[in-house]
Structure formats: C-alpha cells, structure tokens
C-alpha cells in the first residue's frame, strides 16, 4: 500500500472522507494510486468510538473514553448523533449540559488530529450523514465540523457514499473482475449503530442517481443492544429481586457485555453473560434464537421500510440487480436471512460494512478536488433526492385550519425548484412572512420547522391581495434557497430564511474550557488524597446538581402561568411553545395508537406500529425540550429576583444545595 507521504506528494490537497457514526467514526483518504484507504488513529485502529470522557484537565475521545466510562458514567457521553437537530437539547456531561453538535465536534477534532499526523495540514473533507437526516440535522452536522476546524467540501448521504464506493472502487477502478459500465439498479441497506437507511439507486458508468430513500434516524444496532440489556436485566431481577440497571456503573457494564454477546451470536449459536449487581454474580445464557425473537419487531421495521421503498418507487424486486449491505449491524445473521427471503437475492457483502461509507466519501472528495482529472479517470456525478417533503404553512379554506402545503414532495430529484404565489393581507404591506416546514404530515405541528421565508422591502403602496411570487430552490446538498419578486411592478424583494433553530456559538476551545470547569470545583492546593476523596464525591455532586435542575424546572412551570416582566417574556414564550408542542405530540400518539388498533392485515399493522413508534419518540423529545425550557425559565426567574407563589420552599432548598456544592 502506498504510504501517506506518497499520497500528499506533489503539493496536492489530501482527499478526505469522514463517516461520523453513532457508535464509531472513521476517516479515509485517497492514496497516490487514487484508491481509498482508512487512516488508523493513534492506537492503530481504523474505528474510533464516537465517545467522550472528561477527566481531570483533559477531554478524552475514542477507545480510552469507552474504557474509562465504567469508572464514572456521569463523565461519559456517547450516541449523541441521535440527538443532533433536537431544538434546545443538551446532553448532561460532568455537571454541564452540552449540545450534541459540540460532542460531535470533539470527535471530528480527534479525527482531524489523526489525519494531520499522517497527511500533514488538512482542512477540507466530505462528511456523510444518514440519508434520512432532515435539513436541520444536516445543518448542525456542518456546524459540528466547523467547530472542529473542518472546511466541509460537501455533505452526502451514507447510502450514496457506499454506492460510490461500490461503483467506483470496485467497478471503475478494476477491483471487481466482473464489473462493467452497464447500468445497474441497486438497493443499499444501511443498518448502522444508531440509524437505519435504505436507498434505491441507479448506477450508469460514473453517474449515481438516487431514485428513492427512506429510513429511521432512531433505529440501529444500539436498539438491538438495548433489547438484550433488558432481557439480561429481567433475568437477574427475576432471580434476585434486584435490577442492575438502577446502578450507573453496573448498567454501563451490562451494556458493554450485551454488545459483546450480540457480536458473539453472529458466529456462534449461543453465548453467556455474567451479570453483576449488589455483590451478586449471575451467569445468563443467551441463544441466537432468543436474541432474534426479542428483536424480531425491530428487524421487521427495516423489512417493511425496505419493501415499501421499492414498491412505492414503482419497481419489483426482479427489477433490482443488487442488494448492497452497509453498516456494522448488518453482520447479524438474521439480516441476511430476512433480505434473502424478501428479495430473492443473495445480499452483496463485497464491501466492508464498516469502511465503505468513508471510502465512498474519500472518492467523492477526490473528485471534487480534481485528483482524478490528470489520470483520465471520470468524475462521478451524484443525482440525489430529498428525503423529506418541503412545504409551507397554509390555511384550509373550508376547515380554516393550518395545513402543510407541500411544495416539493419527498423523493423528488434535486436540485429542483418550484414557484408559489402568495398575496399580501393588508394595504401597503411591506413584509410577508411564510413559515417553511419539512415533513410528511398534513398537520404543521407534526413537521419540522425550518424557519420563516421573510420577504422584505416590498414596494410602498401595494393594495391588499397583491401577488408575491416566491421561488424555492432545493439544492443538491439538501439546503434551501429562496428568491421572490412582485410581478405587478417588476420589483424584486429581499428574501431571507430566518431559521427557528439556534446555531452553536463560540469555538471548540471555549467549549472544552467550559467542560473542564467541572474539575475546577476542587480548590487550588488540594492534596492527592483530597482529590481522591473528591472523585468519590462526584456521584453525590451530580445527584445534587440534578436535584437543583428539578427544582428550577418546577419553578419554571409555576412562572409560566404568570404575567412576567419584559426581561423574562422571551423565556416564557419558549416554554409556552414547548408545552404546545408536547400537547400536540401527545395527541399524535393517541391518534397513531387508535389507527394501529384498527389496522387490517399484517403489513398495515407493521406500518402503523412504525408510525406509533415515531410518534412516541417525538413525544419523548418534546417532553425533554419542555423540561429544559422550564428549567431555563426557572433559572432566569430566580436570577431576576422573581419567586412565584408556591415556590418558596423550592428556592430555599436550592440555596441549601448550592451551599453543599461550595
């Protein structure tokens, strides 16, 4: 294999592709021969756990973070990719609340150090995301890369990257002796640690056209692990009346052992796990048959999504040439067996399920940087589709209710554009604001708000009902551009998308300093013995801080009902909006539950079960966001000297708890 030094000879910028995963992340580059190679990290591994641990005066990322987590779970975070794009969400970590994009940035920064150690200065990279990521999740992924110091050449979908790896590495670069330039229709089944994607693509020479895509950003190998964790814990609970999940350290160890057991069941029909809790050790035997039984519904969700994708795209399985596997969780034997039964084809395992996405991203980065031009190799062309419908909030003329007026349906080829006409509501109106949303539901409250399309500086003196033409352009990278004009006058109007989600401010160094403040609670001059005692008390400190947050949240709930001064009005509005979203999510769960109960036939029941699962997830997310909004309002209220009636005892308890932390 050519050395990294050879890859960077001649002054060319290295072509880097990053697979930022829920469980593991990795980075690949193109060597001097133009072939993708995964870079090893400082430990010599190509897979870096997407995990962060805070210890003393340093922040640890990767395998060492995973090893240390058992010692202090409260100082550890993982699987934060699942939280990307959740409004106002913060992950508790070492007495701090950290946005998931900051945690992702710490992983991306570590990958950058690994790249620079092998290839020298490197700033540019192609980053992959699940195909089913919406616009908001794509944006915060780019924010994370920016925080880590990366210049993102492009963001591409993980199944597309796997297809590029297959199409160019194996077909065009001659690694597959049977490869050719014949048109081929493939399904990429990508089951990773935290997300599931399935995409139907057509490959014609070096052109990759996505026909349709679907998936679930809350379904992956981690959910299979959780089922096994619960199975093991229930066996222990039945035998001893104690639950190992109630102790953070024992629960974390159980997670690790369950993951190892799942991997063991890939090769062997049975395995065993030693559960430890409250001084009791118990061996639990697990067979592959039992594991597949307790996770059958999860696999069935992927089956139904895959089958519906092909059928809704207007094809049969006979018209699909290949089923390509990607993602570490596809190693489970039941995945291959299910796909053989569904498709009548042997799934293609020719690519590394761990490395193919990073390889494809590196190949595409090489294309963007012109690495293949001199060698006569063709550039690849990616033709993508949008994974979620784009619409605006309109009003049903008959029901007088807000509806999602879809402008660009899901699985529309992008880039694309569409024109819509809006009208002014008042004489002399100078501004028009149109809420832009993303999602499939007819009801706007169950869609993702992207912000408002604000048309400014309209000509003066326009009569009521003046048409305003707005052009929405969905770009190839999944981003949205908007322009507008007034046909009656020929004037163009200034247009902006005012986004509803905040972006993370500051830089990675500032966030690191904020994280490390948790350790500075130990006074200067503290001895080693004192530090050891302080470390023992960390669990108690975390419990105290959690209790303080609960009290602030209660105060916020009381304050939300009051008429507050202007300084607190903004926090109150955010809290009230969060309550509305939570109520709406609850109604959606009830409706989805009723629809599932009335399902006719197995296929409809499975599909409606998936909808119910997503509705419940949205409800949990809305509850988390409402709790955080109340917490912020409670803190703001106390800081401003306001104590709502009935919160006097809560406020006094907060004072006492704060004294314990000093």
CATH of residue 105: 3.30.420.40
pLDDT of residue 530: 40
For residue 538, name the pLDDT band (cuts at 50, 70, 90): very low
**How distant is the alpha carbon of residue 47 from its chain centre?**
19
In a domain, 503, yes or no: no
Q: Are residues 485 and 529 in the same domain?
A: no
- Kindly report whether the peptide bond that precedes residue 415 is cis, defined as omega within 30 degrees of 0: yes
In a domain, 509, yes or no: no
- Write down which residue in 338, 356, 385 finishes a domain: 385
Q: Are residues 69 and 204 in the same domain?
A: yes
Between 324 and 617, the more confident residue is 324
* Distance separating alpha carbons of residues 29 and 629, to the nearest angstrom: 42
CATH of residue 406: 2.60.34.10
Q: Are residues 242 and 321 in the same domain?
A: no
Q: Are residues 379 and 469 in the same domain?
A: no
In a domain, 513, yes or no: no
Query: Does residue 394 contact residue 420 with C-beta atoms inside 8 Å?
Result: no
Adjacent-strand bridge partners of 53: 60, 76
In a domain, 456, yes or no: yes
For residue 53, name the pLDDT band (cuts at 50, 70, 90): very high
Q: Are residues 272 and 316 in the same domain?
A: no
Can you tell me the mean pLDDT for 515-526?
Answer: 52
In a domain, 100, yes or no: yes
Q: Are residues 71 and 187 in the same domain?
A: yes
233: pLDDT strictly greater than 80: yes
For residue 378, name the pLDDT band (cuts at 50, 70, 90): low
In a domain, 505, yes or no: no
Q: Are residues 279 and 331 in the same domain?
A: no
* Distance separating alpha carbons of residues 182 and 128, to the nearest angstrom: 27
In a domain, 655, yes or no: yes
11: pLDDT strictly greater than 70: no
524: pLDDT strictly greater than 60: no
Specify burial of residue 525 (Cβ count, 10 A radius: 0-12, 13-18, 19+).
exposed
Q: Are residues 122 and 271 in the same domain?
A: no
- Write down which residue in 385, 414, 435 finishes a domain: 385
pLDDT of residue 603: 60
Query: Does residue 244 contact residue 275 with C-beta atoms inside 8 Å?
Result: yes
Can you tell me the mean pLDDT for 206-219?
Answer: 86
Helices (H), 384-519: 508-516
* Distance separating alpha carbons of residues 315 and 319, to the nearest angstrom: 6
Total tally of structural domains belonging to the chain = 4
Q: Are residues 8 and 136 in the same domain?
A: yes
Q: Are residues 181 and 225 in the same domain?
A: no
Q: Are residues 422 and 469 in the same domain?
A: yes
The pTM of this model reads 0.73
Q: By residue range, what is the domain housing residue 578? A: 522-661
What is the per-residue DSSP string for 540-599? HHHHHHHHHHHHHHHHHHHHTTS---HHHHHHHHHHHHHHHHHHHHHHHHHHHHHHHHT-
Q: What is the 3-state secondary structure (H, E, C) of 274-340?
A: EEEECCEEEEEEEEHHHHHHHCHHHHHHHHHHHHHHHHHCCCCHHHCCEEEEECHHHHCHHHHHHHH
> At a CB cut-off of 8 Å and minimum separation 6, what does 5 contact?
none
Judged by DSSP in three states, 450 sits in strand
Query: Does residue 55 contact residue 512 with C-beta atoms inside 8 Å?
Result: no
- Write down which residue in 356, 385, 414 finishes a domain: 385
Q: Are residues 11 and 66 in the same domain?
A: yes
536: pLDDT strictly greater than 80: no
605: pLDDT strictly greater than 90: no
For residue 448, name the pLDDT band (cuts at 50, 70, 90): confident
In a domain, 174, yes or no: yes
CATH of residue 290: 3.90.640.10
């Amino acid at each position: 294999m050519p050395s990294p030094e050879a890859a960077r000879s001649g002054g060319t910028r290295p072509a880097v592709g990053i697979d930022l995963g829920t469980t593991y992340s990795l980075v690949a580059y193109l060597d001097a021969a133009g072939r993708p190679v995964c870079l090893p990290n400082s430990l010599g591994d190509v897979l870096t756990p997407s995990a962060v641990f805070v210890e003393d005066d340093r922040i640890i990322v990767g395998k060492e973070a995973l090893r240390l987590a058992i010692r202090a779970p409260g100082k550890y975070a993982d699987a934060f990719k699942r939280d990307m794009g959740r409004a106002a969400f913060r992950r508790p970590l070492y007495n701090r609340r950290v946005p998931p994009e900051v945690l992702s940035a710490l992983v991306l920064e570590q990958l950058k150090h690994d790249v620079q150690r092998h290839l020298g200065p490197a700033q540019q990279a192609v980053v992959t995301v699940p195909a089913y990521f919406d616009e908001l999740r794509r944006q915060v992924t780019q924010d994370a890369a920016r925080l880590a110091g990366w210049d993102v050449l492009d963001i591409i979908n993980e199944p597309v990257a796997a297809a590029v790896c297959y199409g160019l590495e194996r077909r065009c670069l001659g690694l597959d002796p049977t490869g050719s330039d014949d048109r081929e229709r493939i399904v990429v089944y990508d089951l990773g640690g935290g997300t599931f994607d399935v995409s139907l693509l057509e490959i014609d020479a070096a052109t990759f056209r996505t026909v349709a895509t679907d998936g679930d950003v809350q379904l992956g190998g981690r959910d299979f692990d959780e089922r096994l964790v619960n199975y093991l814990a229930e066996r222990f609970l039945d035998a001893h009346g104690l639950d190992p999940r109630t102790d953070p350290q024992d629960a974390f160890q159980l997670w690790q052992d369950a993951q190892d057991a799942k991997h063991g069941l890939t090769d062997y029909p049975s395995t065993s796990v030693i559960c430890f809790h409250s001084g009791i050790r118990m061996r639990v035997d697990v067979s592959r048959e039992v594991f597949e039984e307790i996770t059958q519904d999860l696999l069935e969700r992927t089956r139904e999504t895959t089958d519906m994708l092909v059928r809704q795209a207007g094809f049969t399985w006979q018209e699909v040439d290949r089923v390509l596997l990607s993602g570490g969780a596809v190693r489970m034997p039941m995945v291959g067996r299910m796909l053989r039964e569904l498709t009548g084809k042997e799934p293609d395992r020719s690519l590394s399920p761990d490395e193919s996405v990073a390889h494809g991203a590196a190949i595409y980065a090489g294309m963007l940087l012109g690495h293949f031009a001199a060698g006569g190799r063709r550039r690849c062309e990616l033709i993508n589709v949008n994974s979620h419908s784009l619409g605006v909030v309109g009003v049903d003329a008959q029901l007088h209710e807000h509806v999602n007026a879809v402008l660009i349906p899901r699985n529309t080829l992008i880039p694309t554009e569409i024109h819509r006409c809006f009208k002014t509501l008042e004489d002399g109106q100078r501004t028009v604001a149109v809420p832009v949303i993303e999602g499939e539901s007819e009801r706007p409250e169950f869609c993702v708000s992207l912000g408002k399309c604000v048309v400014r500086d309209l000509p003066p003196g326009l009569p009521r009902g003046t048409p305003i033409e707005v052009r929405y352009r969905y770009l190839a990278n999944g981003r949205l551009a908007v322009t507008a004009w007034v046909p009656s006058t020929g004037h163009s109007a200034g247009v902006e998308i005012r986004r509803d989600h905040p972006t993370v401010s500051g830089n990675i160094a500032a966030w690191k300093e904020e994280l490390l403040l948790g350790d500075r609670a130990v006074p200067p001059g503290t001895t080693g013995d004192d530090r050891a005692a302080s470390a023992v008390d960390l669990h108690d400190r975390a419990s105290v801080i959690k209790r303080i947050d609960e009290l602030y949240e209660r105060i916020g709930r009381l304050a939300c009902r009051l008429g507050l001064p202007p300084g607190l009005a903004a926090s109150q509005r955010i809290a009230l909006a969060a309550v509305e979203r939570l109520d709406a999510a609850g109604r959606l769960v009830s409706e989805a539950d009723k629809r599932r109960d009335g399902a006719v036939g197995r296929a409809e029941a499975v599909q409606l079960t998936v909808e119910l699962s997503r509705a419940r997830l949205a409800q949990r997310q809305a509850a988390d966001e409402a709790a955080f909004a109340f917490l912020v309002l409670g803190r703001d209220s106390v800081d401003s000297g306001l104590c709502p009636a009935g919160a006097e005892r809560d406020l006094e308890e907060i004072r006492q708890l704060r004294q314990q932390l000093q």
